[in-house]
Amino acid sequence: MDTQTWIYLMVGGSFALYFGIALWARAGSTSEYYVAGGGIHPIANGMATAADWMSAASFISMAGIISFSGYSGSAYLMGWTGGYVLMALLLAPYLRKFGKFTVPEFIGDRFYSRTARIVAVVCLLVISLTYVIGQMRGAGVAFSRFLEVDIETGLYIGMAVVFSYSVLGGMKGITYTQIAQYVVLIFAYTVPAIFISLQLTGWALPQIGLGATLQGSDNVFLLQAVDNIVQDLGFAQYTGMGSATTLNVFLLTMSLMIGTAGLPHVIVRFFTVPKVRDARRSAGWALIFISILYTTAPAVGAMAIYNLVKTIQPGEIGSPTGNMVLEERPEWMKTWERTGLLSFDDKNGDGRVQYYNEKNPEFAAKAEAMGWKGNEVTIDKDIMVLANPEIAKLPGWVIALVAAGGLAAALSTAAGLLLAISSAISHDLLKGIFMPKISDKAELRASRISMVGAIVVAGYLGLNPPGFAAEVVALAFGLAAASLFPVLMMGIFSTRMNKEGAIAGMLAGLLSTVIYIFLFKGWFFVKGTNMFPDTLDGWFFGISPSGFGVIGALINFAVAYVVSSATSAPPVHIQELVESVRVPRGSGTAVAH
């Protein structure tokens, strides 16, 4: 059976499973639509949370960024996993005890203000729309390769698939679908990694293979070999910092960490379990499930770049047999060329492909002396995980498994984000503010309509993303870090924080971060609108847009503290409510008076 047939079978089978689950678990009430009726088992909820968590950025893009940036890419690993620990310890159980459906609902009740709730909805929409751009791009990349269409067509197909089961099932359908998607994506990620680790190092566990010696070599370690081949091509040492600075790696890690703890679509997962204790347990299970992929990703990144470079540069640099002959390039390259995510340009017309860092002055001079006229290969970072099994010449069923996993990762998180967007509009704005007497049926209809609108907007923005999937997602985490995380923390742990401080803090944190991103990234949908170059030299004080969320969070905390100190304290019943939320007893919910 050929690879494409395997792909159709596995992807088609997995989609049939998702649609069947969505029909079986169709939401019949607002409780089932928003929080799955609050009856999900902690282990099942841990799986669903892990699938919601491990988005296209984790599955498709993270190892690709590690492949090309090396050690500095570890910021994504540390930030995303560390942030989950923060969420599990500092936010999840307290928010679950408070007992509200959504983050804006918590903020509105805790800070006794409709205005605070509206500002929280605005923050949530900005965060979620930015986040979902990365997911839609990931879905587009996966569909474009495995259906052999251009990325725009792939993205439209992804929009249609998300629409079909997200709008239908709500949180109940999405939860059970994400359990199935977790199983698919984790097998799809680990099985190829095991094959490639065995192939290169003889070790089945990729985590061990990453630090092992290459088979057939004279005690040359894998990472040492990767260092050698990338440096031979003029790139920075793989195990070094490269062009990244210690400041930016630290800020990016912290931004991802506290941004993680403020993500509304993951926080709402802790409302789907029956008890406060179950919220803690499901957080622990989710961390176990997440760690399987996150400890495998560094090995996948290193092995992918090693296999890629050895494919393009099979011999000595500059030798007649040192470059791949253009006409003899493998079929996987031709397939990815059709998507527009990989391209070749034989600049010197010698019929061979030269791949090197033309921005390195020293190597550029060496390349020119050999008759090369510039780097001839353009590779989108987001293809590395999906292309990895093909580069390693693994069986067709393994390649098909990766196809199903990549799509599961992108679609599972997209569904969760879109539900967060639609619930913010229908539950927090419509029912909570403008039409409090709206019926459950009308609210469900409004939520589904708003989800359709969100899918259209996200798809449009996904056609013109400001970076690779993981980079776009990092911007969303920065926005969450700057806007929602501080107000959630202060809402739980400070009885003195009042509505004026919370509103001023959210606005200051959100606006400062949005403005900074705009200055260097421009409008996502209009290219060339950035005012400054998006480079280390162009950034203010050398702080990248992806890492600015920490600065935004500090601004949020500072403004909230100053404004709160200058205004009256919250009502006594609100202060008592805050104290009761932190009492570690019982499984009931705190209720605002």
Q: Is 232 a member of any domain?
A: yes
Burial class (CB in 10 A: 0-12, 13-18, 19+), 61: buried
**Total domain count, the chain:** 1
- Provide the pLDDT confidence category of residue 132 given band limits of 50, 70 and 90: confident
Q: Provide the pLDDT for residue 587.
A: 45
Residue among 535, 538, 517 at smallest CA distance from 466 = 517
Encode pLDDT of 534-561 as tens digits. 777 778 888 999 899 999 999 999 999 9
Per-residue burial over 104-129, b if 16 or more Cβ lie within 10 Å, else e, is bbbbbbbbbbeebbbbbbbbbbbbbb
Q: Is 378 a member of any domain?
A: no
In angstroms, what CA-CA distances link 297 with 133, 291, 342? 22, 10, 22
Length of the chain: 593
Q: Is 136 a member of any domain?
A: yes
Maximum average pLDDT range among 46-55, 222-231, 264-273, 311-320: 222-231
Residue among 139, 138, 149 at smallest CA distance from 4 = 149
CA distance 358 to 368: 10
User: Which residue range is the domain that position 25 belongs to?
Assistant: 3-307+388-511+543-581
Encode pLDDT of 364-389 as tens digits. 888 888 888 889 999 888 888 888 99
Q: Is 340 a member of any domain?
A: no
CA distance 294 to 323: 34
Residue among 405, 201, 233 at smallest CA distance from 308 = 233
Per-chain mean pLDDT for the chain: 82
Assigned token pair, 151: 């990325």
CATH of the domain at 204: 1.20.1730.10
Encode pLDDT of 335-364 as tens digits. 888 888 899 888 988 888 888 888 888 888
- Provide the pLDDT confidence category of residue 29 given band limits of 50, 70 and 90: very low
Q: Provide the pLDDT for residue 200.
A: 94
| In the predicted structure, residue 240 carries a pLDDT above the cut 90 | no
- Provide the pLDDT confidence category of residue 588 given band limits of 50, 70 and 90: very low
CA distance 515 to 310: 42
CA distance 285 to 315: 47
Residue among 15, 174, 132 at smallest CA distance from 459 = 132
**Spacing of C-alpha 512 from chain mean position:** 22
Q: Is 82 a member of any domain?
A: yes
User: 């894998």: which residue's tokens?
Assistant: 222
73-80 mean pLDDT: 86
Q: Provide the pLDDT for residue 84.
A: 77
Q: Is 192 a member of any domain?
A: yes
CA distance 418 to 125: 10
Q: Is 281 a member of any domain?
A: yes
